[in-house]
Amino acid sequence: MIKKLKWLILSLLLLVNPKVIQAQTKLFNHKNFKGWYAYEPKSGKHQNASDLFNVEKKMIRLYGDKLGYVMTEQSFKNFQLTVVFKWNNDSTITRKSNKRNSGIMYLVPTSTKDTLWPKGIQYQVKEGGTGDFVLLQEVSLLVKGKQTEPGKSVTSPRFLDSENPSGEWNTAVITVKDGLIRQELNGKLVNEGQLTEPTEGKILLQYEGYPIDFSRVEIKVFK
């Protein structure tokens, strides 16, 4: 009840005072990987993310034979993140897996070492499973009044399914405000929880072997 009341108050504040959040910022400029770096285990960190992945047709396109990710250089606290994505089903491009699996990570601490996969919270992007929380490297959440067990990789299932068919665009919205977290998919609430830490961190887009495109990555930061 208290958690729902907090979200109601936050929603009312946004309606009454739009200055509660800053203007929306594009983390992806549709031209290049400015503000991002890339990582894959064998060669490590690449400050030039285009060494590993591509920006094509105004999209971040993750594909190839190397698992890895792109990560923002900037860290964020109390924000609303919007990511638009779809599976790339082009059979002519190189892939490492035929299993549609990826993820959007957030609250990755700046002190965390680059690895597959670092500490933080993953918005699971997976055929038949988009919207799950995947809690990595001992992160724990209070979900529906129950605390999740800390572990290397712990899944807290989505409340409902809302993913569009493969090949169609999906919109994920992640809201983090004073430890309260909401994950939405295509306009529907699919998961929510509360945590104590980490309360700030970077944004990461995963490549787990199946090609995926991101056309929009934008953030609004709460003041």
Average of pLDDT values for 132-149? Answer: 96
pTM, full prediction? 0.90
Q: Where are the chain's structural domains?
A: 72-206
Task: Give the tens place of pLDDT for each residue, 158-177.
Answer: 999 999 999 999 999 999 99
pLDDT at 3: 52
Highest CATH level, class, for 72-206: mainly beta
What is the C-alpha to C-alpha distance for residues 175 and 113, in angstroms, rounded to an integer?
25
Helix ranges (H only) for 68-188 are none
Length of the chain: 223
pLDDT for residue 152 = 97
Residue 9 has pLDDT above 60, yes or no: no
Flag whether pLDDT at 142 surpasses 80: yes
Lowest mean pLDDT among 2-11, 45-54, 81-90, 154-163: 2-11
Given a contact cutoff of 8 angstroms between Cβ atoms, the answer to whether 190 and 179 are in contact is no
Range list of β-strands (E), 95-222 = 101-108, 120-126, 133-136, 142-143, 146-147, 153-156, 170-177, 180-185, 188-194, 202-207, 212-221
Query: Which of 14-18, 66-70, 195-199, 213-217 shows the lowest mean pLDDT across its residues?
Result: 14-18
Among residues of the chain, what percentage have pLDDT more than 70?
Answer: 90
Judge contact between 66 and 149, C-beta under 8 A.
no
